Amino acid sequence: MADFIKNPVVPLPDQDPEPQIPAEELVFTDAEKQQIAHWVTRYPTADGAVMRALWLAQEKFGFLPPEVVRLTAEELGIPYAQAYGVATFYTQYYKKKMGRHVLDVCTCFSCQVCGGYDILHYLEEKLGIHKGESTDDGLFTIQEVECLGACGSAPMLQVTNGPFVHNLTPAKVDQLIEDLKQGKTPPFVSVTLPQDEADLGGNRRSDAAAVEAYQTPPVSATVE
Ligand code: FES
């Protein structure tokens, strides 16, 4: 059997685990139903609203276990499989309970060439967890993600579907972790374009000396 069928990202419909949201809490309020119904009117078919509805569900329940994906699909009147496909395609939808801060480290092309795996492994070693895991105190989860559209300031990461942290170095990672532990979320910083560098201060990497991680393997050598 194919590995992804034996170990799906979330259980397949006939492999539903014990529900993680109590049945009495597994409902949308009237206001939430109205909001979803309003979104549906803005698309030719109800499945057009699936991303917004899943997002609403994630904000409400914190993550998207199968029963929440099913509830959302039922509210939209679309097949469960369709909502499941969307929820499992995007790393921004959390299929399991996450730490308070989710660190999405990009290791796609530009970030990889500029040391994305170095940053990922540095974080893994610093927090003592592998990507996909959460720290015991529930503070941090690390994810490895695809391109987040900020290639010009690689390597970068995103914090809990929010602000980007650009041009990462180990020192920047240390500062970020310290700030997050103290409840300080980094500010949103727009990626500058070359023509705006002088005016905006610039956050694009130009220090070629930092680009030396080209051969870094994708698997951490030190975290067991
Ligand atoms: S490759 Fe990392 S943001 Fe594009």
| Number of domains composing the chain | 2
Q: What are the pLDDT digits (tens) for 59-71?
A: 999 999 999 999 9
Beta-carbon count within 10 A of 207 CB? 8
Classify residue 83: in a domain, yes or no.
Answer: yes
Burial of 224 (0-12, 13-18, 19+ CB in 10 A): exposed
Residue 197 contacts residue 102 (beta carbons within 8 Å): no
Same domain assignment for residues 181 and 106: yes
- Domain final position from 69, 89, 109: 89
b/e code 42-78 from CB counts within 10 Å (16+ = b): eeeebbebbbbbbbbbbebbebbbbbbbbbbbebbeb
> Minimal CA–CA distance to 122: which of 222, 196, 7, 12?
222
Whether residue 74 sits in one domain with residue 160:
no
- Tell how far the Cα of 159 is from the centroid of ligand 1, in angstroms: 14
Q: Does the predicted model carry a pTM greater than 0.85?
A: no
Residues 107 and 186 in one domain: yes
Ligand 1: distance of its center to the CA of 22 in Å? 38
Per-residue pLDDT of the chain (224 residues; tens, 9 = 90+): 555 556 666 666 566 678 889 999 999 999 999 999 999 999 999 999 999 999 999 999 999 999 999 999 999 999 999 999 999 999 999 999 999 999 999 999 999 988 999 999 999 999 999 999 999 999 999 999 999 998 888 899 999 999 999 889 999 999 999 999 999 988 887 776 666 666 666 666 555 444 444 445 566 666 66
Whole-number Å distance, alpha carbon 104 to ligand 1 midpoint, is 11
* Cα–Cα distance, 142 to 157 (Å, whole number): 10
Residue 222 is assigned to a structural domain of this protein:
no
Ligand 1 neighbourhood includes 105 CB (under 6 angstroms) = no
Residues 78 and 124 in one domain: no
**Any ligand 1 atom below 6 A from CB of 119:** no
Query: How many angstroms does the Cα of residue 106 sit away from the middle of ligand 1?
Result: 6
Gap from CA of 152 to ligand 1 centroid (Å)? 8
Residue for token pair 């000396």: 209
What is the Cα–Cα distance from 97 to 114, expressed in whole angstroms? Answer: 30
Q: What is the CATH number of the domain that holds 131?
A: 3.40.30.10
The answer to whether residues 134 and 141 touch, using CB atoms and an 8 Å cutoff, is yes
Range of the domain at 183: 101-210
The verdict on 200 and 113 lying in the same domain is yes
Among 111, 145, 203, which residue has the most ligand 1 atoms within 8 Å of its CB, making it the best to mutate?
111
Does the beta carbon of 151 lie inside 6 Å of ligand 1? yes
Ligand 1 pocket test, candidate residues 110, 114, 204, most atoms within 8 A of CB: 110
Residues 176 and 112 in one domain: yes
CA distance 22 to 86: 24
